[in-house]
Amino acid sequence: MSDEESGWHLTESDPGVFTELLKSLGVPYIVDDLYSLDPDSLAALQPIRALVFLFKWLPQSDTEPDPSLSSGSGAQYDPDFPGFFAHQVVNNACATLAVMNALGNIPSLPSGPQLQELFSFTTGMDAQTRGLVITSSDWLREAHNALSPPSAISLDGLGLPKTSEDAYHFIVYMPAMGCVYEFDGLKSHPIRHGVYEEKGEGWIAKAREVVEARIATYPQGSLEFSLLALREDPLPIIQSRLKQLQDAGRGNDSEAAELFVRLSNENSKRERWAFENSVRRHNHLGFIHALLVAMAKAGKLQPAAEGARTKMQERIARRKEVGMDLDE
């Protein structure tokens, strides 16, 4: 199913994109990239509500082992899961569906009225019906598509050879009812990965084992996955603590200095997200057209096209030398 048929566009695995989606849902959380699963790195981001895992999706036969059940944690499907779980019923909706499956299992979630109404409306529905309701929600689809506009140029009908593209998929790991659960909209049921201890790192320690086992199923050094942390926004906490210190005449001590650094880093990150999202929203077709016209008038378009064609032919030749097919 194409983007035009499903109405849902591909979502970039970017914390700024996910944070903007949460903002449109009225949820005061943010999403951060995770580059390490070591305790110190994760502790700096607490409280973490869920881990969003993006991986290269590969079709599996009935005889192949399910990587979700190979974590060594006694993982098993939970058909009687009483919380929120929705199936993915259209292409390209997995990013928002992963977020919905996470938010729907956070107790006392602060959110906007539309999201509250959607969760209330789907109470008691089975996973398939929930998925249909979610993907039929116009406002949610618009929020999903806001930072991934459809391509303004279509190659359909030109008779060009079809090329294979890698498919990527978002799933969620999070705590629920004393266990770490995996929510994958393409699976029949949530997957329970076993209980976790409340002491120490809590659910994060168990989730680390599960995620590391999943990553271990990829070739060493593979870059075919990414991990994001869904967490509470630290800005209000930082600002509140800074005000307390300043009111107590401690605005210049070491704790305040550390908080100022954190505040600066958080604000810089948000400024970067805002700029990158503004670029994503902008339609660059007009600029591209004007640039091509200007190059044509200056007599530079044809040489540039010939140079690009030559480079492509060289690339094809190099790939053939090492036995690589262009479509791989």
Q: Which of 20-24, 83-87, 148-152 has the lowest mean pLDDT?
A: 148-152
CA–chain centroid gap for 253, Å, is 38
pLDDT at residue 299, rounded to an integer: 87
Please give the average per-residue pLDDT across 109-135, as a whole number. Answer: 95
pLDDT at residue 3, rounded to an integer: 46
- Which of 47-61, 150-164, 249-263 shows the highest mean pLDDT? 249-263
Task: Give CA separation, 265 vs 236, 260, 261, 269, in Å.
Answer: 14, 9, 6, 6
When divided into structural domains, the chain yields a total of 3
State the catalytic residue, choosing from 9, 87, 144, 169: 169
Q: Please report, as a single letter, which amino acid is at residue 193.
A: H
Are 189 and 243 in a shared domain? no
pLDDT at residue 104, rounded to an integer: 96
94 is catalytic: yes
Question: If we measure between CA atoms, which residue out of 245, 105, 228 comes closest to residue 176?
Answer: 105
Are 311 and 193 in a shared domain? no
Is residue 100 domain-resident? Answer: yes
| pLDDT exceeds cutoff 70 at 161 | no
State the catalytic residue, choosing from 87, 94, 144, 179: 94
Is residue 326 domain-resident? Answer: no
Please give the average per-residue pLDDT across 242-268, as a whole number. Answer: 90
| pLDDT exceeds cutoff 70 at 4 | no
Are 65 and 9 in a shared domain? yes
Is residue 263 domain-resident? Answer: yes
Output the DSSP codes for 305-326.
HHHHHHHHHHHHHHHHHTT--T
Which residue(s) pair with 292 in the sheet?
A: none
| pLDDT exceeds cutoff 60 at 324 | no
Which DSSP category does 218 fall into? S
**Count of other CB atoms within 10 angstroms of residue 217:** 14
169 is catalytic: yes
Q: Please report, as a single letter, which amino acid is at residue 288.
A: I
Q: Residue 105 class from Cβ within 10 Å (0-12 exposed, 13-18 middle, 19+ buried)?
A: buried
Q: How confident is the model at residue 328 (pLDDT cuts 50, 70, 90)?
A: very low
Task: Examine the fold and report which residue of 195, 215, 233 is the final residue of a domain before the chain moves on.
Answer: 233
Express each pLDDT in 175-187 by its tens digit.
999 999 999 999 9
Q: How confident is the model at residue 2 (pLDDT cuts 50, 70, 90)?
A: very low
Which position has the higher pLDDT, 6 or 320? 320
**Count of other CB atoms within 10 angstroms of residue 11:** 23
Task: Examine the fold and report which residue of 233, 254, 274 is the final residue of a domain before the chain moves on.
Answer: 233
| pLDDT exceeds cutoff 70 at 327 | no
Answer yes or no: are the C-beta atoms of 53 and 181 closer than 8 Å.
no
- Which of 2-11, 18-27, 52-61, 249-258 shows the highest mean pLDDT? 18-27
Answer yes or no: are the C-beta atoms of 54 and 169 closer than 8 Å.
yes
Are 196 and 306 in a shared domain? no
CATH number of the domain within which 171 lies: 3.40.532.10
HSE at residue 260, side-chain half, CA atoms within 13 A, is 10
Is residue 158 domain-resident? Answer: no
Query: What domain range is 183 assigned to?
Result: 3-151+164-233
- Only one residue has tokens 């604000």, namely 267
pLDDT at residue 73, rounded to an integer: 61
Question: How far apart are alpha carbons 267 and 238 in whole angstroms?
Answer: 11
Is residue 157 domain-resident? Answer: no
Q: Please report, as a single letter, which amino acid is at residue 247.
A: D
Q: Residue 247 class from Cβ within 10 Å (0-12 exposed, 13-18 middle, 19+ buried)?
A: exposed
| pLDDT exceeds cutoff 90 at 153 | no
Are 179 and 59 in a shared domain? yes
